[in-house]
Amino acid sequence: MAVKKLGAQTVKFQNPPSIIATATVVGPVEGKGPLRNYFDLILGDFKFQEKSWEKAEKKMLKEAVEMAVKKSGVPSDKIEYFIAGDLLNQIISASFAARELGYPFLGIYGACSTVAEGLGIGAMLVDGGYADNIVVGTSSHFCSAERQYRFPLELGNQRPPTAQRTVTGAGAAVISTKNQNPRITYVTTGKVIDMGAVDPNDMGSAMAPAAVDTIVMHLEDSKRTPEDYDLIVTGDLASVGKDIAQKLMLQKGIDVSNKYTDCGLLIYSPEQDVHAGGSGCACAAVVTFGYIFNEMQKGRYNKILLVATGALMNSTIVQQGETIPCIAHAVALENL
Amino acid sequence: MAVKKLGAQTVKFQNPPSIIATATVVGPVEGKGPLRNYFDLILGDFKFQEKSWEKAEKKMLKEAVEMAVKKSGVPSDKIEYFIAGDLLNQIISASFAARELGYPFLGIYGACSTVAEGLGIGAMLVDGGYADNIVVGTSSHFCSAERQYRFPLELGNQRPPTAQRTVTGAGAAVISTKNQNPRITYVTTGKVIDMGAVDPNDMGSAMAPAAVDTIVMHLEDSKRTPEDYDLIVTGDLASVGKDIAQKLMLQKGIDVSNKYTDCGLLIYSPEQDVHAGGSGCACAAVVTFGYIFNEMQKGRYNKILLVATGALMNSTIVQQGETIPCIAHAVALENL
């Protein structure tokens, strides 16, 4: 068996890579939410001085990456890979940001699980001896996502209570061989799970089984229990999906009730009228790189299991009658 | 500097991973081309007993992966990662194939460079001690790509002579720690290069500078020369892009004229009336995993530099007036 592999789906790092810096940009709605003090840049509107939402999204990602690299103190020419993806067709936010940033680029796609997929691949490349410094990033934008996945905003469609709001924002992190906390200690790569959900306005229900599958595999492979973590954070199941995930785990004898939360619930307050909560690649990214990273640096949390979830459909295939395949990747973040 | 890193963009493996098996599926047009005897399965039509082109594409990818795994002799439950991507929005071919295959899944996006991105990440995960056996795959389909990127086929639009035909097909390879040839010895990850091209019917011209940039970086980083290779194969520049790439290299003092070819030229014969040649994720994949892999096994070629190229735009951003960012990743394949 490969020396760094544990069980079926988990990697344990021999020299756990560090997250040495993070940065976040969020839109105006997220900037009024309960985590507002954790974000580096809050936009006043959805355009960010650009002519389209797509261009604004790309600019947010580029800004987040540049801020994270600047904070890390790593000279820009020492960043060896930019690993990124987003929700837009052909991950244009990531590709166009990569064009301006100039780093060697690995494009990834995991829908809203992208942040965990990126941290996982990034940590493997750093621990594997392929790079000393890598920047990982992802983004999403409420307006560009709505028109691509659902309806143009101009239609003014009403959204059902199970719908989640795509977070407008971008997050980036620099992963490094430098000897500092927090570290990436374990990565559990998810399988695609599809329980037959078909409603693109209820992604939480669709994704919950994938989150549970990955959490169960992580605990089994690593021989850990929920007690080994200060907090297990899924993202982005929001209120509907989080309840389902918690019940499914309890059915498997895993009680996480006192230490389980979800990025889609943390990012907005109930008063903000966003229905079930947040979603989008930026949801788990800005909560992790804003709130969690900062609280880990302060020592409030020392062991976090991030389980980012993604729904892997597109509108064409849903119109062809397909159900929605989902995935979740887990990353353990620890102060050692 | 990271122990396996050479120069700015290249990795040299300490224990070069093997490609122990490959498999290819192609459509009816590719099945009449000059490489027809190298493919495992040639389809009689574009639907593959499915109800849509998208579902047919997914089925091709799944079949290619299953055949490659079967040929490799690795039990299915010992495949530790499925790394795949494709051209369709939200890489649905890869995600839906992953749902049916059941392997832990890492979705990637590099447009037509996907095969090299997948081989690169896969080899890093195997050499890095994270897995013993990984399957990498990619696919494309003429009909699904045309309607997504250009015009519905039903319109019967005329295509200009610079246009390339998206290859209908899928290719997969099993990367392993097993001690056999051919090996993946070097990987050079590309930067995004954009020379201002805007014509989605002339991708070869747009991508040529990215191919040249990556070849130059590979030679510089590895301190190799074209003489170190039996063949340098770009994919998929086709006739227009290949000529530009060759001229650009000559301007930089690199003469590859006697050992340079392109997957987009190899896959069709001039009599097939496909204009400039082939393109699509499957183009470089089926040429590499069909023709090149087989000729390496026979010993006709022993050192190949594969430089897969991708154009990273989507139709929305082209309509917003953006130029086309391109990328190329290089993978050295060697019989040691």
Q: Which tens digits make up the pLDDT trace of B103-153?
A: 999 999 999 999 999 999 999 999 999 999 999 999 999 999 998 988 888
Is the Cβ of A96 closer than 8 Å to some Cβ of chain B?
Answer: yes
Domain interval for residue A216: 183-334
Q: Are residues B210 and B166 in the same domain?
A: no
In this structure, are B58 and B144 located in the same domain? yes
- Residues B28 and B145 grouped into a single domain: yes
Band (B1; pLDDT cuts 50, 70, 90): confident
Residues B171 and B156 placed together within one structural domain of the fold: yes
pLDDT at position B257 is 85
Number of domains in chain A: 2
Most A CBs within 10 Å, among B5, B51, B317, B320, to test the A interface: B317
What confidence tier does A200 reach under pLDDT thresholds 50, 70, 90? Answer: confident
Residue A152 buriedness (CB in 10 A; 0-12 / 13-18 / 19+): exposed
CB pairs under 8 A between A and B: 209
Query: Do residues A234 and A279 share a domain?
Result: yes
- In percent, how much of chain A has pLDDT > 90? 88
| Binding-face residues of B in 275-334 toward A, CB within 8 A | 312-317, 320, 322, 325, 327
Domain boundary among A176, A195, A223: A176
Residue A130 pLDDT grade (very low, low, confident, very high; cuts 50, 70, 90): very high
Average pLDDT over residues B93-102: 97
User: Looking at the predicted structure, is the pLDDT value of residue B158 above 90?
Assistant: no
Q: Which of B107, B194, B312 sits opposite A109 (nearest CB)?
A: B107
What pLDDT is stored for residue B201 in this prediction?
A: 85
Q: State what percent of residues in chain B have pLDDT above 70.
A: 100
Residues A161 and A188 in one domain: no
Query: Which pLDDT score, from 0 to 100, does residue A158 have?
Result: 86
Instruction: Examine the fold and report which residue of A157, A176, A195 is the final residue of a domain before the chain moves on.
Output: A176
Q: Within an 8 Å CB–CB cutoff, is residue A160 touching chain B?
A: no
Q: Would you state the pLDDT for residue A292?
A: 98
Confidence of residue B167 (pLDDT cuts 50, 70, 90): very high
Same domain, B207 and B122: no
The arithmetic mean of pLDDT across residues A195-206, rounded, is 90
Closest alpha carbon to A200 in A247, A154, A166, A233: A166
- Judge if B162 and B34 occupy the same domain: yes
Mean pLDDT of chain B: 96
Residue-level pLDDT at B315: 86
Q: Is it the case that residue A323 has pLDDT exceeding 90?
A: yes
pLDDT recorded at residue B155: 87
Lowest mean pLDDT across A132-136, A163-167, A293-297 = A163-167
User: Bigger pLDDT: B170 or A152?
Assistant: B170
> Are residue A12 and residue A53 in the same domain, yes or no?
yes
Q: Are residues B138 and B20 in the same domain?
A: yes
CATH number at residue B297: 3.40.47.40
Same domain, A241 and A327: yes
Shared domain for B147 and B9, answered yes or no, is yes
Of B72-76, B161-165, B245-249, where does mean pLDDT reach its minimum? B161-165
Q: How far is CA A149 from CA A86, A142, A265, B244, B314, in A?
A: 13, 10, 21, 38, 15
Among candidates B250, B259, B242, B235, which has minimal Cα distance to B311? B235
Please give the helix or strand (H or E) that residue B278 lies within, else none.
strand B277-279
| Residue that finishes a domain, picked among A176, A196, A231 | A176
What does the pLDDT look like over B6-58, one tens digit per residue? 999 999 999 999 999 999 999 999 999 999 999 999 999 999 999 999 999 99
Residue B159 pLDDT class (50, 70, 90 cuts): confident
Q: Is B154 a residue whose pLDDT tops 90?
A: no
Count Cα neighbours of B182 within 13 Å in the Cβ-side half-sphere. Answer: 27
